[in-house]
């Protein structure tokens, strides 16, 4: 039976463009905040890493809190769109603050400035915006194919933006003067761009009514749960825990790829290679995303596609290690592209998998917690990306790296090689193992058969 369609092509593209705004924050922050703080402001990488880690303790609880708040919101714009719209205003301001540490301040005050701005950005504003944006996948359509398409469009925009930011930022900052003021100016431009696109994206889709979402049943009884019960609903869902684990590992992977700026600068002696490797990562991802909806249909679901994709990703990253020790940059780029091609399907259908995960909670617990369920996206970005950036700082500090020095010790060069070559491979293997157990579609189908529920 053909599923009912809810979206036009322009709704899907409009929704997907929202990740331009998301990656103006995320790609810029994860790829460049550490090197800005260490090499331009002159802060110690280990201390910055520690501050980022401590920040995660402050904002760790906010994911489920904002997810629960979205579920309880009733407005003319719907549940999620108000949080998406207004949350990004704070994102824009605090992103600029992270790259506007006053050079006139003492070191202690500079650390405090960054810590406050970073914590507000991640713990409050990005959390509210990102969970709301992700939750729209469940709130604007009930069609599984449309959800996969929304995810594919979203991440095509995400990786295109990431590619652009990683490619042009180093040159853009140099063009603006290469100093602290240049970083601040670039941050202001990126934040303004993100604010405009986020607004357009939020207004390009319309949320379904609660009655429609719940198949004509009243939603009031389902929504009367507190923060603790919301947390209990999540941890009872094994697939939610798997997605959180995979998402965190994925962001750790991205943080190590972002640390490639150090590897290119000091090991390969050419910082401009960072932009070229960004092409090798993002173009194959975009190609894979274009074909993901068709492959989901061909292989009758997301489970086999995601698992096979990550097997390819593991092979690709293993070959990057070999090419790295051979000293062949062209081979490193080729195998980087192969690994990215394998990672593409999971990126494209991840939101649809989370929607299926939310359905699993509804089928097993009788409560609809779409907003809370999508807390795994923000949780993964913040814990994985934040801790990943912190680990980069700690490992560099441990290895003897000093950003303002003209020459780095061999121990630091070895550490950069370990971070860029080996850690991404290890993270890919762990993600592959998790995906081998994540057949949430099969679990839902089994429950529906047992309950006699017909597919819509």
Rounded to the nearest 5 degrees, what angle is found at the Cα of 337, between the Cα atoms of 331 and 340?
140
In a domain, 55, yes or no: yes
In a domain, 3, yes or no: no
In a domain, 2, yes or no: no
Give the per-residue pLDDT at 16.
92
Q: If you write DSSP's letter for every residue of 404-434 in order, what string do you get?
A: T-SS--HHHHHHHHIIIIIHHHHHHHHHHHH
Measured CA to CA, the distance from residue 179 to residue 100 in angstroms comes to 11
Output the average pLDDT for the chain.
Answer: 88
Whether 5 shows a pLDDT value over 50: the answer reads: yes
Measured CA to CA, the distance from residue 38 to residue 52 in angstroms comes to 14
In a domain, 4, yes or no: no
CATH code of residue 108: 1.20.1250.20
Residue 390 — pLDDT band, cuts 50, 70, 90?
confident
pTM over 0.85: no
Q: Report, as an integer, the average pLDDT of 289-305.
A: 86
Q: Report, as an integer, the average pLDDT of 414-443.
A: 96
Give the per-residue pLDDT at 123.
84
Q: What digits encode the pLDDT tens for the residues 137-149? A: 888 888 878 888 8
Both tokens of residue 426? 């290890």
Q: Report, as an integer, the average pLDDT of 27-36.
A: 90
If one counts the domains in the chain, the total is 1
Q: What digits encode the pLDDT tens for the residues 74-122? A: 888 889 999 999 999 999 999 999 999 999 999 999 999 999 999 999 8
In a domain, 164, yes or no: yes
Mean pLDDT is lowest, of 260-264, 351-355, 366-370, for 366-370
Measured CA to CA, the distance from residue 382 to residue 241 in angstroms comes to 16
Report the percent of the chain where pLDDT is more than 70.
93
- Residue 142: which of 358, 302, 304 has the closest Cα? 358
102: left (phi over 0), alpha (psi -120 to 50) or beta: beta
List phi, psi (to 5°) of 233. Answer: -60, -40
Instruction: Please say whether the dihedral angle defined by the alpha carbons of residues 431, 12, 366 and 1, taken in this order, is positive or negative.
Output: negative
Residue 207 · residue 139 · CB < 8 Å: yes
Please give the biggest Cα pair distance in the chain: 69
In a domain, 335, yes or no: yes
In a domain, 455, yes or no: no
Alpha carbon separation from 195 to 149, 153, 167 (Å, rounded): 24, 19, 21
Residue 42 sits in which domain range?
11-448
Alpha carbon separation from 69 to 1, 27, 411, 449 (Å, rounded): 35, 27, 48, 33
In a domain, 45, yes or no: yes
């Amino acid at each position: 039976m053909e599923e009912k369609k809810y979206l036009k092509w322009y709704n899907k593209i409009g929704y997907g463009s929202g990740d331009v705004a998301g990656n103006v924050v995320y790609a810029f922050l994860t790829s460049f905040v550490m090197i800005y703080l260490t090499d331009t402001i002159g802060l110690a990488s280990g201390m910055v890493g520690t501050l980022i880690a401590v920040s995660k303790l402050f904002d760790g609880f906010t994911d489920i809190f904002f997810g629960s708040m979205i579920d309880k919101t009733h407005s003319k714009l719907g549940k999620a769109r108000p949080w998406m719209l207004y949350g990004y205003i704070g994102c824009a301001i605090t992103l600029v603050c992270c790259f506007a540490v006053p050079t006139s301040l003492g070191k202690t005050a500079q650390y405090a400035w960054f810590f406050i701005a970073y914590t507000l950005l991640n713990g409050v504003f990005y959390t509210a915006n990102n969970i709301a944006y992700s939750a729209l996948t469940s709130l604007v359509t009930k069609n599984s194919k449309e959800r996969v398409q929304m995810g594919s469009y979203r991440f095509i925009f995400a990786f295109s933006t990431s590619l652009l930011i990683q490619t042009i930022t180093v040159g853009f900052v140099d063009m603006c003067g290469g100093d602290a003021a240049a970083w601040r100016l670039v941050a202001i431009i990126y934040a303004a761009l993100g604010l405009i696109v986020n607004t357009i994206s939020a207004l390009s889709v319309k949320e379904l009514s609660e009655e429609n979402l719940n198949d004509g049943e009243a939603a009031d009884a389902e929504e009367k749960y507190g923060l603790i019960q919301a947390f209990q609903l999540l941890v009872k869902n094994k697939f939610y825990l798997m997605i959180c684990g995979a998402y965190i590992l994925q962001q750790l992977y991205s943080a190590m790829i972002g640390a490639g700026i150090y590897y290119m600068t000091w090991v390969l002696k050419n910082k401009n290679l960072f932009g070229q490797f960004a092409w090798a990562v993002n173009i194959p991802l975009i190609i894979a995303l274009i074909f993901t909806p068709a492959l989901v249909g061909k292989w009758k679901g997301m489970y086999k596609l995601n698992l096979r994709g990550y097997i390819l990703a593991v092979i690709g990253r293993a070959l990057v290690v070999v090419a790295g020790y051979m000293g062949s940059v062209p081979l490193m780029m080729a195998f980087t592209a192969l690994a990215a091609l394998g990672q593409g399907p999971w990126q494209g259908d991840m939101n649809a998998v989370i929607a299926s995960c939310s359905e699993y909670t509804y089928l097993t617990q009788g409560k609809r917690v779409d907003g809370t369920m999508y807390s795994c996206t923000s949780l993964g970005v913040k814990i994985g990306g934040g801790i990943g950036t912190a680990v980069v700082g700690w490992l560099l500090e441990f290895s003897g790296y000093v950003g303002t020095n003209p020459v780095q010790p061999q121990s630091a060069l070895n550490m950069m090689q370990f971070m860029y070559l080996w850690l991404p491979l290890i993270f890919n293997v762990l993600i592959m193992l998790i995906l081998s157990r994540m057949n949430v579609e099969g679990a839902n189908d089994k429950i529906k058969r047992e309950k006699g529920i017909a597919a819509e």
